[in-house]
Structure 1
């Protein structure tokens, strides 16, 4: 069969072109238009040749805009002497792809916002993250205005191409920004199209920003009260805030407001806890003529820094009263009871100094307490600085240890009943008086030291025998060094394991 060497007839070409689903523009070898099918004429009612880019190679595809529509054009070899441009309207297809891409960007933005906003419980960091996140995708410049603080001023943080800036303004200046005062009060956001960007004051924008074309102000919802406001600005000539963007901003603002509100609440609670905990921690030990005092306190719940063990040195006209105790329980609840015991002792010292009588009074106070399980072990040591004599009363607590200057360790023969445990109020006490010679040391400690489990197996109790042996090696050391050594040996025994509250207090006669 002979090969075909001639072009098909015009009728055949027309039939082929009209049967095509795409728009087809058929040209001869010289580039002149030969045929335009119905689909192409419908897409391009006027001159179709303006769409034909003859610099394109056969098989190459390009896109060109025609009014509000987007056409995809592909150049191909058609038969022997013809070339064809295939046209397809991809306006809707491209719009769907753009919408999907925009939705993905919005989703990724909110995911990143959630990650960064949840990474901190610091108010300033949350406000900074909010402003930085909003810059770029949402606006050319973003400002977070926090609720008014003291002195009728309000702080702000601003992010833009110029970087991060912060400062404060008088509360009255919020009225200069359209919608800002309402946003700070928690009112719903005003649509961007209702705000006049030309009313924006100079302080709202970074230096050199240029004319503002679009402004959007939205509240940052908080936990019952507004967490501030977010101000977004776009330059003149740029795209405005459409409905989808404003919806995204409101969702973002809700997350940012929740994060800032949580940070504010956390900081307020932390400040309150710090004030309360400060009164529950042991005070600095006083300087007593002829004596060295040193103490150590470790709470089982390290995050709380306070617990049920406590010590204190209370001044009296006859000499200091040293106390070390352990209340039932752990953590803040136990620390509160320990603080109550310390404050009760301070009040009772106005009327009574004798350790034995103080024990009876504290026991009565605990029995009348509304706090359940108000049980306390306690050591009271009334010091006579002039002669080194110490009157001791022990209630349910490990007996103090006496380290002589020559390294001999004795246990003080003092015992007593746990305080706050017997409803009848009857307690038994056996008091003792010890004399500290120069170089001698009296050690008060809690059972968290002797009942620490650790060692090679991790399940062996430290015990009083090990404590006495360790104390014997501290002869001649200053009180501070003794406490530090005993604390370190006990910690090494624990080897990082779980431990109870631990307290040590050493009284050493220096001369």
Structure 2
């Protein structure tokens, strides 16, 4: 030990001997290298420094330049920093950053996987279309998991599975796969049956059939097949392939693929369930939608229906036309309004229409139809639901006139547009259908001269709220006035004009169901085919056809 007296004190401190300093430097876990400042010749390197940089040799120049460095050697990440000790000596401090670097890399991988799964959840939930959802699954898989991907979905027609494939250099491809071909792909049958995925290392890519991927992709180096879990059963299977002989799926890749497959399977299952509901709704709606109107000889029929909910297309208002029975000559028309809107009202609408059709087969009069229908609704047990309804029989009489016998059950009375422009109210009234044990119906008979029109409508037309204030009803007075302005128009034009007027009145706001039907007597007796005209032709159409013939004659 040597003595040293600090300035300003009378005490002396003992400085450790060089051997003790060397022992302290050897004991530290941080690498320390002492070298000359001029040429960087190594004077001393402790054990930690020699372990990180074995090329350090006393008497040789240090292999570092600058004031700091980062390097990778022997699978380790080393960081070094130089500090000046005095005018003649420098010190390098070395640290092993391998663990920190690996943690940072793992964190970055986890962040990338979390971002991928977040993107997958967002894109997969954006659509309930089955094919679009399957294609999105394949696109995400090719972008983040593999070089090529195939989504296989069971349940096709004839036992066939449908598939969507994305591969490098090829546009998205779709097709079907016979059930017998499933066993040709390793692990595919098990995945479609809902078994846990087989590890990639157990699947031999060389056993994949030639039709699975395009031939120009080259050899498949790694294959992974995982199920797409659905609701109680699998929604399909995901086939992932990586190209090249050295490619592989590690445990992290397989775990990520399983998590992604769970999300994709849930999205596919939801899309499939939605498609089933759409198909079922379409089948049920087919018999609830307004019928295509016939055009009986001697008069014209026109109608319009607009549901309160456009997405449903059916609701509480309805109209129907029942043709003549084998022994009769009259046509029965009906227009009604079931209490409420939406599916429940649509179901009751179907029940009312079917009851009317059954009564028509036994040739029941309109007022009797309402009486029987009232009993049928009361016996159904749904007292909270009732119907307002107008039923009428339409019959041609002499000189081109049309006779209507109309019966109303709590419904707005029909209107008649006469040839002089006046609007008459048909004096028929009655009690609501489905409320009281006994119905009181007062039928009325009206006759239409050629060109006159009878209008049936639901209260959704007159109670439509809009106009300048946004809350004013369209009203009966306005309806009468607008109907009078339709003098001489064909029935279809009258219906369309009223429908458009109410639509403009609403300004796109909410409305109730609206049903409109017009019965119009032809302006002249039907022309025979022998005379060159079309039966039941409107005078507008007849004049147009004559103009066409004159144009052709001039040309």
**TM-score, structure 2 normalization:** 0.84
CA deviation map 1:254-288 (0-9, x unaligned): 11101000000100110110111121110111112
Contact persistence 1:64–1:73 (CA under 8 A): no
What does residue 300 of structure 2 align with?
A: 292
* Residue of structure 2 equivalent to 1:62: 70
249, 263, 269: which one pairs with 2:271?
A: 263
Alignment-derived partner of residue 3 in structure 1: none
Counterpart contact for 1:51–1:64, Cα < 8 Å: no
Task: Look up the SS of the partner of 1:393 in the other structure.
Answer: strand
Partner residue, 2:545: none
Who is 1:149 aligned against? 156
C-alpha deviations, 1:124-160, integer Å up to 9, x for none? 1111111111113211212111114112321111223
1:451 aligns with 2:463: yes
Please tell me whether residue 213 in structure 1 is matched to residue 221 in structure 2: yes
**Cα drift, residue 23 of structure 1:** 1.8
The correspondence for 1:37, drawn from 46, 50, 53, is: 46
1:473 pairs with 2:485:
yes
**3-state SS of 1:475 partner:** coil
Counterpart of 2:200 in structure 1 is 192
Where in structure 2 are the equivalents of 1:400-415 lying within 5 Å?
400-415=414-429
**Structure 2 residue matching 1:204: 3-state secondary structure:** coil
Q: Secondary structure at the match of 2:218?
A: coil
Q: Which residue of 1 aligns with 2:515?
A: 503
Counterparts of 1:136-175 in structure 2, within 5 Å, are 136-162=143-169, 163-175=171-183
Partner secondary structure for residue 264 of structure 1: helix
Q: Which aligned pairs between 1:16-35 and structure 2 lie closer than 5 A? A: 22-28=30-36, 29-35=38-44
Tell me the CA shift for residue 472 of structure 1: 0.9
Distance 1:151 1:359, change over 3 A: same
| Counterpart for residue 410 of structure 2 | 396
| Aligned counterparts of 2:351 and 2:121: Cα–Cα separation in 1 | 43
Would the aligned equivalents of 1:288 and 1:385 in 2 still touch at CA under 8 Å?
no
Q: In structure 2, the residue corresponding to 1:121 is in which secondary structure?
A: coil
TM-score of the pair, normalised by structure 1:
0.91
215-224 or 361-370, which moves further after superposition?
Answer: 361-370
Q: Residue in 1 aligned with 2:134? A: 127
Q: How many residues align?
A: 497
Q: Which residue of 1 aligns with 2:506?
A: 494
4+ runs of 1 displaced by more than 3 Å? 9-22, 24-34, 48-54, 73-86, 236-239
**CA displacement at 1:456 relative to structure 2:** 2.6
1:101 paired with 2:108, answer: yes
Give the CA RMSD over aligned residues: 2.5
Deviation, structure 1 residue 83: 5.7
Deviations 1:81-121 (A, max 9, x none): 55655422111001110111111111111110000000000
Q: CA deviation at 1:447?
A: 0.9
Structure 1 pair 440/120, CA: closer, same or farther in 2 (3 Å)? Answer: same
Counterparts of 2:97 and 2:426, CA distance in 1: 96
Q: Which residue of 1 aligns with 2:384?
A: 373
Give the CA deviation at 1:451.
1.6
**Is the contact made by 2:367 and 2:441 (CA closer than 8 Å) also made in structure 1?**
yes
Structure 1 residues 301, 51: CA separation in 2 closer, same or farther (over 3 Å shift)?
farther
Deviation, structure 1 residue 42: 2.9
Q: CA deviation at 1:123?
A: 0.7
What residue ranges of structure 1 are gaps of 5+ in the alignment?
A: 1-8
Aligned-residue offset at 1:458: 2.6
Assess if the C-alpha contact under 8 Å between 1:307 and 1:335 holds in 2: yes
Q: Does structure 2 retain, via aligned residues, the 8 Å contact 1:148–1:171?
A: no
Unaligned runs of 5+ in 2: 1-16, 524-555
Q: CA deviation at 1:24?
A: 3.4
From 256, 262, 274, the counterpart of 1:254: 262
Deviation at residue 235 of structure 1 after TM alignment: 2.3
Q: How far off its partner does 1:243 sit?
A: 2.2
Distance 1:510 1:224 in 2: 62
Aligned equivalent of 1:327, options 335, 338, 353: 338
8 Å CA contact 2:185–2:209 kept in 1: the answer is yes
Identify if the C-alpha distance between structure 1 residues 439 and 126 changes in structure 2 by more than 3 Å, giving closer, same or farther. Answer: same
Q: Distance in 1 between matches of 2:42 and 2:94?
A: 14
Q: Identify the match of residue 382 of structure 1 among 393, 404, 417.
A: 393
Comparing 118-127 with 335-344, greater Cα deviation is found at 335-344
Q: What is the distance in 2 between the residues matched to 1:370 and 1:277? A: 24
Q: 1:39 to 1:323 in 2, by over 3 A?
A: same
Superimposed CA distance per residue, residues 350-385 of structure 1 (whole angstroms, 9 cap, x where no aligned partner): 112421222222222222224443411111121113
Secondary structure of 1:258's partner? helix
d(CA) in 1 for partners of 2:20 and 2:167?
A: 64
Larger radius of gyration: 2
Distance 1:53 1:293 in 2: 100
